[in-house]
Amino acid sequence: MRVAVISDIHANLQALEAVLADLEASDPDELWCLGDLVGYGPRPNECTRIVAERASVCLIGNHDLAGLDETGAAVADFNVDAAAAARWTQAALERDTREFLASLEPQAERGGVAMFHASARDPVWEYVLDYDTAAATLAAAPLVLVGHSHVALAITEQRGTVSGGLAPGGHEQSLAEGRWLLNPGSVGQPRDGDPRAAWLLLELDKRVARFHRVEYEVERTQEEIRAAGLPHALADRLAVGV
């Protein structure tokens, strides 16, 4: 089975549309989304509806939960810009997109692959960015998918040793040996120094993963962020991938 994996769209419609156009050439059997459809960006309803229609599996992320939580409790630990975007998203979400997000869970399993928005220990909030946190999540299954960090990763545990790291666009990884943790990177707000939208192709039968990056209309998204009254820093960061 061939699976396209996306994560952390963050209401960036231009990036999502570019990724979906790019992955069509790979003719995947399914599309899996690891969460954070909304937050930061200006097009939460459109992005949510597209994913709801296209994805066979979709998780909820911390920004999705924040968008649903009108009490404000979910944004208590957000920085100033993220909190402002969450409050904007709360007001912007329409009934159908709110209902879809509310139906989701932060973890899932399909075909022997474990999926978490964040990590196995904390499916909503824990970032997997070092070998210690990776090792704890690698214990969940031979193949684990995570999002949340906005950084594309390929980390393995083989014979008791954890290794691996960043997975740039064009990287092809054999999954034939050991246990693997993969992060597809972010569609809508990459933070690994590459501003292009990220996605991952899994060929489960062949045990191969291919990391992809796609150009999109960054300037258009930036204009929409500013026009919506969202913090300008959220627009500026898109140009540099941080």
Q: pLDDT tens for residues 197-213? A: 999 999 999 999 999 99
Q: Report yes or no: 38 and 46 within 8 Å, Cβ to Cβ.
A: no
Q: What pLDDT shows up at residue 77?
A: 81
pLDDT confidence band for 161 (50 / 70 / 90)? very high
Given pLDDT bands bounded at 50, 70 and 90, which one contains residue 95? very high
Residue 100: pLDDT band (50, 70, 90) is very high
Is residue 14 scored above 80 in pLDDT?
yes
Query: Does the pLDDT of residue 71 top 80, yes or no?
Result: no
Q: What pLDDT is attached to residue 12? A: 98
Inform me whether the pLDDT recorded for 2 exceeds 90. Answer: yes
Residue 191 has pLDDT above 80, yes or no: yes
Residue 105 has pLDDT above 90, yes or no: yes
**Tokens 């150009």 map to which residue?**
215
* Residue 80 clears pLDDT 80, i.e. is over it: yes
End-to-end C-alpha distance for the chain, whole angstroms: 33
Question: What does the mean pLDDT of the chain come to?
Answer: 96
pTM for this model (two decimals) = 0.95
Percent of the chain with pLDDT over 70: 98
Whether pLDDT at 219 is above 80: yes
Average pLDDT, integer, range 5-11: 98
Domains of the chain, CATH where assigned: 2-239 (3.60.21.10)
Phi, psi dihedral angles at 241 (to 5 degrees): 70, 45
At 75 the pLDDT is: 80
Q: What is the pLDDT of residues 126-143, one digit of tens each?
A: 999 999 999 999 999 999
DSSP states of the chain as a string? -EEEEE---TT-HHHHHHHHHHHGGG--SEEEE-S--SSSSS-HHHHHHHHHHH-SEEB--HHHHHHH-TTSGGGTTS-HHHHHHHHHHHHH--HHHHHHHHT-BSEEEETTEEEESS-SS-TTT----SHHHHHHHHTT-SEEEE-SS---EEEEEETTEEEEEE--TT-EEE-SSSEEEEE---SS---SS--SEEEEEEETTTTEEEEEEE---HHHHHHHHHHTT--HHHHHGGGTT-
For residue 74, pLDDT over 80 is answered with: no
Give the pLDDT of residue 144: 98
